[in-house]
Structures are given as C-alpha cells and as structure tokens.
Amino acid sequence: MTILFPHVPKTGGTSLLKSLSAAYGDKLLLDYHHNSYRGKFKLAVDSALIAFRKKELTNNYKVIFGHFDPRVYNKLGLTRALFFRDPEDRAVSHYQYLLKRKKIPLEFSMSDFVKQPRIQNLYSFYCNGVSIEDLAFVGITERYTESLCLFNKIFGVELTEHRERINYTKPVEKTEIGVCQSINQEIYERALKRFDFLIKKHGLDNAF
C-alpha cells in the first residue's frame, strides 16, 4: 500500500517529514514539484505521466509526501492521509512565514492574504474531492503526539516524534480572519470528528 500524503502548509510538516524520513527511508518519495498549475493542460500531462509510472511508484514507495497538487495523482487511487490545523492559526502562521522570507511584499496585509480564494479554500483543495470521512488517516496539529500514535496504529509503522516549535499567536484581525476561513473551519471541525472516531476505533481513546 502506498500512502498519498500532501503536506498542507504550516500544519507541522517539517516535524512530520523528519519522522517519515526516519521511518521509511528510501521508501519515502518527496514531491515538491507538481504544484502551481495555472491551466488544465500541464496538469493533464503530468497526471498522465504519473499514471504511466503507477507500477513503479506503488512498488517502490510506501509514502508520497510534499507540497504537491493532489489532483496529479488522481489516477493512481492511493490511500489518502492529511494533517489539519486550526484555520486561523494556520493562516496566520502561513502569512508570517511568507512575509519573513520576503515571498510576499510588505504592503500585502494579513487581510489581503486571507481573502485570497486559494487560502479561503485551502482544505478543500488538498482534500481534492475526497470526503473527510473517507480519509484513511487524519492528523491534527494541535494533537500532534496523538496523531503520530494514530498513524503508527493504522499503518503499522513506528514514527518517532520530532517536534518543531509552532507559533499559535493570532493578530488583531482575528475576527476578519475567522470570517474568511469559514469554509476551512467547517472542514476542520469534520476532521476533528474523524480524528476522534479513528482514535476510538483503534483503541487509543484512553491512551492520553
């Protein structure tokens, strides 16, 4: 079984990558290339090329992880896994990360950032038409240790925790951010329910 594990920005992916790398070694495929598609043609071409490599990918890799557009892997029918984080915290962290690294101009405000359609619908994009209730694994950044234990239980692996510091500070525009993150918030709440369901299903509800 190969797990398709898109890395939603600012959900603890740096920590998770260290854990996945240690556990899977050369069975982990990192994909930070298949993203930022502005048209259907290039996406269709890349999707076809990946479909052509299906046997190679599923035979050689246990996990595909990275900042990629999940649509490019649709034809492979892989098991899906995702991490989620409180949408307001995630949006703030994402904005501050981009600003600090000068990937967005200083005059681009938090308000401008959270109003972008891609940011307002980020979780929908990474779910890629797959229902939250159909995800084989759901991780919650705020419950990171539990999430790793759940991953281990579901997939029969031993991920060790490599925790990076996460900034949960919210700015003054919290109310406006919340309004702009309403779609992500609805998905996040469903992810929390799915997480609790899986925790109970796999006998981890009394472990923490």
Q: Assess if residue 206 is contained within a domain.
A: no
Predicted pLDDT at 206:
82
Q: Assess if residue 46 is contained within a domain.
A: yes
Q: Assess if residue 39 is contained within a domain.
A: yes
Q: Assess if residue 32 is contained within a domain.
A: yes
Predicted pLDDT at 172:
44
The model carries a pTM of: 0.91
Alpha helices, DSSP H, located in the chain: 13-24, 40-52, 54-60, 87-100, 110-114, 117-120, 122-127, 144-155, 174-180, 182-201
CATH at 21 = 3.40.50.300
Q: Assess if residue 183 is contained within a domain.
A: yes
For the chain (length 208 residues), average pLDDT per consecutive 10? 96 92 97 89 96 97 97 96 95 91 87 91 95 97 96 96 60 65 95 98 87
Q: What is the extent of the structural domain holding 143?
A: 3-201
Exposure string over 196-205, b if 16+ CB within 10 A, otherwise e: eebbeeeeee
Predicted pLDDT at 174:
55
Q: Assess if residue 207 is contained within a domain.
A: no
Q: Assess if residue 191 is contained within a domain.
A: yes
Q: Assess if residue 208 is contained within a domain.
A: no
The tally of domains found in the chain comes to 1
Predicted pLDDT at 164:
63
